[in-house]
Structure 1
Amino acid sequence: MMSNETQAPGLLGRALDGIERVGNKLPDPAMLFLILLFSVWGLSALLSGMSFDAIDPRTDAPIEVTNLLSAEALTHFLTTMVSTFTAFAPLGVVLVAMLGVGVAEHSGYINTALKQMLKVTPAKLLTPAVVLVGIISHTATDAGYVVVIPLAGVIFFTVGRHPLAGIAAAFAGVSGGFCANFIPSGIDPLLQSFTQSAAQIVDPTIQVNPLNNWFFAASSCIPITLLIWYLTDKVLEPRLNRTHKVNREAVDIPVMEQTTVAEMKAFRIASLVMLVAILGFFSLTISESSTLRDANGSLTSFSAPLMKSIVPLIFIFFMLPGLVYGYLTKTFTNSSDVVQAMSKSMSGMAHYIVMAFFCAQFVAAFSASNLGALIAVEGAGALKAMNLSAEITIVGMILLVGFVNLFVGSSSAKWALIGPVLVPMLMQLNISPDLSQAAYRVGDSSSNIITPLMPYFPLVVVYCQRYVKGIGIGTLISMMLPFSLALISIWSAWLLLYWSLGIPLGLGASYTY
């Protein structure tokens, strides 16, 4: 009998191979965003003279497509090109975090930390451990994209497994499971604010609890982790071993040899320094008058200074142990060695910076054109017009959100657009705003991992290219498509099961209105 690594691909494998071949014929991601930018310009000019019945819930006025080829729009594009690039949020997140991670990596601290982690993590539980860490990383906003995903590749590579399987498992946890978490995070009050305002269109007195989906989000970690675990170990990794073999000698990752006494001592001291720094910092948050809290005293809202400091904290809390470990082990002998470590981490980001430039221009143009708003509102209106049963409507809503997510990446932007249409509509079917929001979370997460328009998608392509040269968009889409389809199916079923059993969705939540 053939092993999983060598057996011929089945129907699913052939389909994914085909998707990969077609996808990899697409231009480089940077050029793809440039082509999409030109396409948005042309489409905006074509549709700008047309009238649409769709009402923008943000302005209560009919949606109008803006002509981006007008003289005024082109002038605005030229004058804001630089600021659009420098203000592109994912760019700063990635580069600042990677400066600190680079010091920790090139000092040898991360290498030693991984060795210690692998000692206590059973080999059979490596995949679910990576997935769970990815899910929990949502608490720290975008930390998972710049820390968890690349480290997962290193971990799998170190233990002799396919590194792209580790990257895919982490990506599925971080992005595919975006709206699941044991720990409440900033996404909870953000979505709640839009849900409440949408519900008050029908009932001005209604109040929605910020943790109205907490129990459902926490319980979702179980099926999501099991699902990603199975797909990674039984479906994806055997396929990768067949189609994308890794030349281990060509990968620039230090071989994990036995930890020396000196390295272990340096690791303990460096870790203690990091722990003291973390505890010292968070002691500053205890006081109700802490400057790290928002105006309402919250630490977890998106407006809280603590949440806005996550990326600088990643930089500091990786930098500190890296410096201590590097100087104690003589990896760093002077400040030039530290700067060189930062430079090495930045050199690996060169391709991403180029992609980020074109991605930033496209995202800004797509938003300014109002095409995303038109797609979202028209889609919500079409679902409303179908007049389906409550259960089928919920599933239809999940599929709609998953589709719209391919074009409009921002979770809050999508909910601001379609929430005012769907929440009141479902309230007329006696479906509570809490259940509508839970359905939205499922659809919003499931298709994150298959859309190249998601700002961090090109970054994950770069992570993969570290191990297998020539990997493109098609490869990553073919890797993640089974996860996306399975997530939207199983997670939808989990929500329907939750609903049928009447298990509370969260604090102060209900299923019926």
Structure 2
Amino acid sequence: MNAVPQVQPWWERVAARVPDPVTIFVCLSVVTVAMSVWAASRGWGVHHPTTGEWVPARNLLAPDVIRHLLSDMPKIFTGYSPLGVALLTFTAAGFAEKSGFFGALVEGLARRIPAALLTPAISLLAILTHVGGDVGLLVLMPLAGIIYMSSGRHPVAGIAAVYASLSGGYSANFIITPTDAVLLGIANEAARAVDPASSLNIGANLFINMTFAVVVIAIVTFITDRIIEPRLRQLHPHAPSTEPRARPDRKAVIAATVTMVAVALGFVAMVLPGGPLRGESGDLEPFYHALVAMIFVMFVLSGIVFGVMTGKFKSDKDVVRTLQDSARELGFMIVLLFFVSYFLELLSSSNLTTILSVKGADALRAFALPPPLLGVSLILVASGLDLLAPAATAKWAMIAPAVVPMYMLLGLEPAAATAAYRIGDSAVNIINPCSVYMAFTLVVIRRFLPEFSLSSLLTQMFPYALSILCAGMMLITTFILFDIPMGFGS
């Protein structure tokens, strides 16, 4: 019996000891309170880098601070900008997934892939499915094994390509995703410690994400076709199969896709001169801020169209019930964001964010690292943290309040810092044994090769991780060195 605990039992012991993200933020909040008391007693403070004013450390146990933290608790939570963005985007994406549209769209596209373009097309589909949450994990990964096997290729090669693209390209995409909304929202809140007027939009990483997507697809294609599949054929031979696959409702998929495109074009039309999404000075700032609304309307309407045409939605009650189910799954995120928002408020009220950022920037300045190397250093930090805790949002919420302002003072913009963090976090996902993606991947592979072990999976995935990490460092260096915009408004 190939039980995972018999392969590398220490991995499971390590994973079991990693605290829940909520617990981590509670502990960080306690540490912040203690630090504020100590820093205030020592008279810590710095001169603000932009105003020159003296910023002293504040004791969070002082009566006026306690009064603020307790009286304004609801306002602190509801005023946390990533909260609304996360609720809207994830609810809409979950609705489109539960309606069956995302799964049918992926399956329909996969059927029309030419054999010569199978790996890059599968990699592209895997990257695009990030917008639907775990739809790529749940639908495309098993489907890829069947498609490869039906095409006379090794099924595990297809699964490996999807897994490498989903994990290694977690922040790579050609469209804006809910992850953009959450991570950039956190970065924007952190940046306001240095620049109160900071206004990152959810498209601030789109250009580098698109480039990263091309890089990931190229790497996954080369490694899968030239390295992984030949080794699999030698070590784990597998016979082709012609197992039939259910066909999605073609008309419903087309109608829902047309709906998505129509909504997107409608929003773009409102950017034309005189349109409601163009600023008074002709800028596109209103359009950037409307991207969340576009995603929400696009996914909900396309899901409704698909559900009605397939018979899943027979009345308005079915639509509302599905929306409720999607929102219900956000319970953990709401709880997490409450503790994140309160932790950030503690940091802000204590002035520790500004103090640590200025002092950290002074320390880094001694090394005289140019901005490109600052980006590379952040990629390496994110990669190391990913091995300890796979959750990208939770880690960024923990380190962004200190990292973003500190790097801003050294010349690295918040959009660039966020992009560097995302690249580093993505690459190591592929070989993180604590990742839920890896556990599910092993389960899917064992449908085709029951003897396949976790150590075998890690061995197969290492070339992807190393290649994507190195390519990501080159990419962030190029963007920063040549001052290439990371995305809209950056």
Does residue 1:268 correspond to 2:263, yes or no?
Answer: no
Output the CA distance in 2 between the equivalents of 1:232 and 1:365.
Answer: 47
Match of 1:296 among 267, 281, 293: 281
Change (3 A) 1:482 1:23: farther
Q: For 1:482-497, what aligned pairs fall within 5 Å after superposition? A: 489-493=470-474
Instruction: Compute the TM-score of the two structures, normalised by the length of structure 2.
Output: 0.64
Are 1:149 and 1:170, in contact at CA under 8 Å, matched by a contact in 2?
no
Map Cα deviations across residues 40-86 of structure 1 (whole Å, 9 max, x no partner).
Answer: 11121111222447443143234432221222112111112112222
8 A contact 1:379–1:400 mirrored in 2: no
Asked whether 1:259 is paired with 2:280, we answer no
CA contact (8 A) 2:161 2:224 kept: yes
Alignment-derived partner of residue 152 in structure 2: none
Q: Return the offset for 1:271.
A: 2.7
Which of the residues 159, 169, 174 maps onto 1:173?
A: 169
Counterpart Cα distance in 1 of 2:37 and 2:69: 15
Partner of 1:380: 361
> Structure 1 residue 130: deviation in Å?
4.8
Measured in 2, the distance between the counterparts of 1:215 and 1:339 equals 35
| 1:98 paired residue number | 90
Match of 1:141 in 2: none
Q: Give 1:448 shift.
A: 4.9
Q: 1:63 to 1:447 in 2, by over 3 A?
A: farther
Asked if structure 2 preserves the Cα contact closer than 8 Å seen for 1:397 and 1:439, the reply is: yes
C-alpha deviations, 1:358-400, integer Å up to 9, x for none? 2221222223323333333222211222457x6xx85356426
Following superposition, the deviation at residue 172 of structure 1 comes to 4.5
Taking the TM superposition and a 5 Å limit, the aligned residue runs for 1:346-385 are 346-385=327-366
Check the 8 A contact 1:266/1:324 in 2, yes or no: yes
Measured in 2, the distance between the counterparts of 1:179 and 1:42 equals 44
Paired amino acid for 2:377: L
Matches within 5 A, 1:444-483: 444-448=421-425
Counterparts of residues 25-424 of structure 1 (less than 5 Å): 25-52=17-44, 54-121=46-113, 123-125=118-120, 128-130=123-125, 133=128, 147=132, 150-160=135-145, 169-170=165-166, 172-175=168-171, 222-226=214-218, 258-259=246-247, 263-285=249-271, 287-299=272-284, 304-386=285-367, 394-395=372-373, 398-399=376-377, 403=381, 417-420=406-409, 422-423=410-411
Root-mean-square deviation (Å): 5.3
The answer to whether the 8 Å contact 1:53/1:62 transfers is yes
Q: Point out the more displaced range, 150-159 or 343-352.
A: 150-159
Pairwise CA distance, 1:464:
9.1
User: Matches of 1:178 and 1:375 in 2, distance apart?
Assistant: 33
Q: Distance in 2 between matches of 1:314 and 1:179?
A: 14
Letter in 2 for 1:259: R
- 1:149–1:167 Cα contact (<8 Å) kept: no
Counterparts of 1:466 and 1:354, CA distance in 2 = 25
Q: Measured at CA, do residues 167 and 439 of structure 1 come closer, stay the same or move farther in structure 2, by a change above 3 Å?
A: same
After superposition, give the CA deviation of every residue in 1:3-46 in whole Å (9 maximum; x if it has no partner): 9x99x97xxxx6xx756633531332222222221221112111
SS at structure 1 position matched to 2:56: coil
Partner Cα distance (2:93, 2:175) in 1: 26
Q: How many residues align?
A: 407
Q: Deviations over 1:333-372 (max 9, x none)?
A: 1111111111221232222222222222122222332333
2:58, 2:103 → 1: CA distance? 51
Is the partner of 2:282 in helix, strand or coil? coil
Does the C-alpha gap of structure 1 residues 28 and 466 become closer, same or farther in structure 2, counting only changes over 3 Å? farther
Q: Is the 8 A contact 1:180 1:221 kept in 2?
A: no
Q: Contact 1:446–1:488 (CA<8 Å) still a contact in 2? A: yes
- For 1:267, the aligned partner's letter is V
Q: Which amino acid aligns with 2:265?
A: L
Letter in 2 for 1:383: L
Q: Is the 8 A contact 1:377 1:418 kept in 2?
A: no
Partners of 1:232 and 1:377 lie apart in 2 by 45
One-letter identity of the residue aligned with 1:296? S
- Give the AA of the match of 2:247: T
Q: What code does the residue aligned with 1:350 have?
A: G
- Conservation of the 8 A alpha-carbon contact between 1:66 and 1:368: yes
Q: 1: distance between equivalents of 2:438 and 2:325?
A: 17
Alignment gaps of 5+ in structure 2? 146-155, 196-204, 232-243, 386-394, 429-433, 444-457, 486-490
CA contact (8 A) 2:144 2:162 kept: no
Contact 2:106 2:125 in 1 (8 A): no
> Normalized against structure 1, the TM-score is what?
0.61
